[in-house]
Structure 1
Amino acid sequence: MVISAVVAIPSGRAVCAAFTAAMRRYGVPFEVLSDNGKQFTGRHIRPQPVEVLFERVCRENGITQRLTKPRSPTTTGKIERFHKTLRQELLDHVAPFESPDAAQEAIDAWVHTYNHARPHQALNMATPASVFRPHGPTRDDALPAASASAEPHPEPTPQLMIEVAEPPLAPSPAAAVEFDIRVPPSGELSLVPGKQRVGVSQGLAGRTLTIWADLRSIRLLLEGHLVRTVASRLLPADLAYLAMRGARPAGAEPATAALPRLNGRPVLAAGQAVEVDRKVHRDGHVLIAGIKCQVAFALAGRSVTLRLDGHLMHAIADGALVGTWPCPIGTDRLTGLVGA
């Protein structure tokens, strides 16, 4: 039984949308076979494998995913043969379609004939529809038989007969997104190739971080705890790219936003304070713009949040104020602090 969907860009999300639509109509399969394209698997991604959206859909629906051997197209010979038949019997005899919808309509009509009217030698000259046995009831089973009455009735809307774990909805343009990423040995994370890279401690190599991203800030979280905040260089098109790669709509902001920028330089409103996280050295001091500031010996080795407004500096540990001192730097230098 053949199901065919036309997509403008064969992205992971488009493939998953077509796959789940097929499952809603014909049932959830026990297993699925695919090639090693990045839409289907992330196990070949370097430096660390990741779970892509298609793998997630299979896992949440209890589907065993099987992959072909690399450079072995004969393993998926049936679908390759279908592509050849589709081209020979339809695509080679029509002009370019004016839109994806027009292409889908034409291919749907041809596929219906392929499934219901075209005998297949491999099936002893039976049609695919006559031998297909879906896994569970389908939407087609929900359609009642046509009434003999001449009185017209509105066509009932087919109801979903099976439970299908859907992929997450795509976020709206420019909306914040979240996704998980594994830290490589170098500690350098490439969020959008050529646009945004973020470095973290190499001690986090192998750990999985949650990235919260919008047009202003990038937040890195480890098991729900904020690790780092950096200014975002992403555009709406970059957020759309991340959504296409499987990013999900983000929840509430996990922390204070990064400083806004004007002509590439951070801008601080009059009277506004900044916050930075610093680790207390073993002798009880922290470094602010290269200046040693004594905090407390008891906090050695711990991270504290420092709030500076150009007049005072407050140190906060575990949500409690531990001390207040004169601010060691002027207001004009606050925006230059690393991590502000």
Structure 2
Amino acid sequence: MTVTFRADTDLIHLLIAGTRIKTIRSHLSVTDLAGLLRHGGRPAGPSPLPLDTAGRPGVVEVDRTVNRDGKVSLGRHVVLAAEILAGRRVGARIDAGTLAFFDPETRHLLRTRPNPLTSAQIIGLRGARPAGPAPQPSTEPVGVQRRASNSGVVMVAWQKIALGRVHAGKTVTITVSDTELAIECDDGTRTVRRTNHHPVTRIKAHRPRTAAAHA
């Protein structure tokens, strides 16, 4: 494969088919760059990695696949995205203090985490590219399942809803919007007002604590 080197006195970027593969600190002087121009080099275009006026990395994005533990690899760091995202392809928008995980197709915000990476580590990230618009939370309702407790209570996004003992042990489907929780029960759908704005972190109901006895 043909590798293109984009070099200045600060950084050297390695690109294949226009995609940045790796970035390292430059050891080249102005004289070295002039020598490269005389031996087949050409003036470079814009840097593939945006930098601010102090030479620090600007906001960048990378794509990663979340592992089964809900984590992604960013350089030497393994960062928790969310267990609910296991196996999913996500984008990570990286700025000075925050990691924003988002859906690459819709740019809907999925999770935000503190950024543990230094400027040098951000520069060296595989597949980094200039960031697009900041991802925004989805406004679409989310469907989840919950298994009612022995007292007929379910919890969604840290909010408890009492369904009654007649529903103890049953699995119900709940549609979560910004303002309401719609619970589909055997006796119809109940709608209650949301009392907080905690995100939904679990979709599926927990399995029963013990296996059912068999005759």
Q: What TM-score comes out, normalization by structure 1 length?
A: 0.35
Distance across 1 between alignment mates of 2:36 and 2:145: 66
Identity of aligned residues (%): 20
State the 1:175 CA deviation: 2.7
Query: What is the total number of aligned residue pairs between the two structures?
Result: 160
State the 1:302 CA deviation: 4.2
Q: CA RMSD for the aligned pairs?
A: 4.9
Q: Is the 8 A contact 1:6 1:103 kept in 2?
A: no
CA distance 1:287–1:184, change in 2 (3 Å): closer
Deviations 1:49-98 (A, max 9, x none): xxx9268xxxxxxxxxxxxxxxxxxxxxxxxxxxxxxxxxxxxxxxxxx9
- Residue 215 of structure 1, aligned match among 96, 101, 104: 96
Letter of the 1:104 counterpart: L
- Please give the secondary structure, in 2, of the residue aligned with 1:103: helix
- Residue 106 of structure 1, aligned match among 30, 35, 59: 35
1:198 maps onto 2:86 in alignment: no
- Please give the secondary structure, in 2, of the residue aligned with 1:14: strand
Deviations 1:202-236 (A, max 9, x none): 7642x321111212321212233332222222333
1:293 maps onto 2:149 in alignment: no
Correspondence for 2:14: 15
1:323 maps onto 2:193 in alignment: yes
CA distance 1:229–1:248, change in 2 (3 Å): same
Q: Is the 8 A contact 1:178 1:249 kept in 2?
A: yes
State the 1:185 CA deviation: 4.3
- Please give the secondary structure, in 1, of the residue aligned with 2:79: strand
1:189 maps onto 2:72 in alignment: yes
- Residue 241 of structure 1, aligned match among 109, 117, 124: 124
| Unpaired segments ≥5 residues, structure 1 | 17-39, 42-51, 56-97, 113-138, 140-165, 257-276, 306-314, 328-333
Higher strand share: 2
Correspondence for 1:281: 146
Q: Is the 8 A contact 1:295 1:323 kept in 2?
A: no
1:53 maps onto 2:19 in alignment: yes
Letter of the 1:53 counterpart: T
| Unpaired segments ≥5 residues, structure 2 | 22-26, 149-153, 182-190, 202-215
Q: Is the 8 A contact 1:168 1:248 kept in 2?
A: no
* Bigger Rg, structure 1 or 2: 1
CA distance 1:176–1:99, change in 2 (3 Å): closer
